[in-house]
Structure 1
């Protein structure tokens, strides 16, 4: 599969996530990302936004997940596949310890960290990566096939 073929498709989006939550996803501890609205499923670049939620580091499950990791910001740090996006029914147990009540839960699978973060600007909404950004990411994941 050539990079040129991938550029023409509408197969991938970027998702910007604050730190330390982005790092928790890379470790595999956090498999659900909370969003205010429904997100489409499929492949996405994991972008660490420029801000860090410092108080979140005092939450035990977050602190354990990111212990010893650098909290990179303003860069694509990995890739993942969203396999489901749902809200838990009223009164039901949360689908994950990371799931927030009332939020849409984007379930992430196939997470792969990049060896070297790629600086990029993200957006609050799902965003399309530029061909150059996508090429820089895929160059670091030679075995990746969507």
Structure 2
């Protein structure tokens, strides 16, 4: 099993809001179960995203001003299946992007879409440290994930 650290509220959108595409700049050969780790940093860009707002409203949250309260950070929040990775080509709307400006102002133009399916949220977030890029969680964390949610392993 591999893991990916994603800032909130994007991690929430993957697990609960129908976000099936994660935008990255690195192409990976890995396919299979992918633990979603909610990072320690909040995404202001995610908090003003219309697609995240729409997903929140459809989930029953109404139209609210986002804040960090209530969103787990620094923890694995669930597992999805990474089923495909392909270069951006104007596809995968509304979640797929062709470019974005990341934290710190750096513009990213060479985007790949990670196609995610079958989100399985954990009953409770599992606190742990994350990492940049695709990373391998320690075996004790993998064991916990398999125990907590059927079909994760």
Q: TM-score, normalised by structure 2?
A: 0.78
1:29 aligns with 2:36: no
| Offset at residue 34 of structure 1 (A) | 0.5
Count of aligned pairs = 131
Which residue is equivalent to 2:151?
144
Gaps of 5+ in 2: 62-68, 99-109
1:94 aligns with 2:80: no
CA contact 2:51–2:95 (8 Å) conserved in 1: no
| Offset at residue 144 of structure 1 (A) | 1.4
| Offset at residue 122 of structure 1 (A) | 0.9
Cα-Cα RMSD:
1.8
CA contact 1:14–1:128 (8 Å) conserved in 2: yes
- Which one is further off, 49-58 or 31-40? 49-58
Q: TM-score, normalised by structure 1?
A: 0.81
Which residue is equivalent to 1:16?
5
Q: How many Å separate the matches in 2 of 1:86 and 1:55?
A: 23
Which residue is equivalent to 1:123?
131
CA contact 1:20–1:66 (8 Å) conserved in 2: no
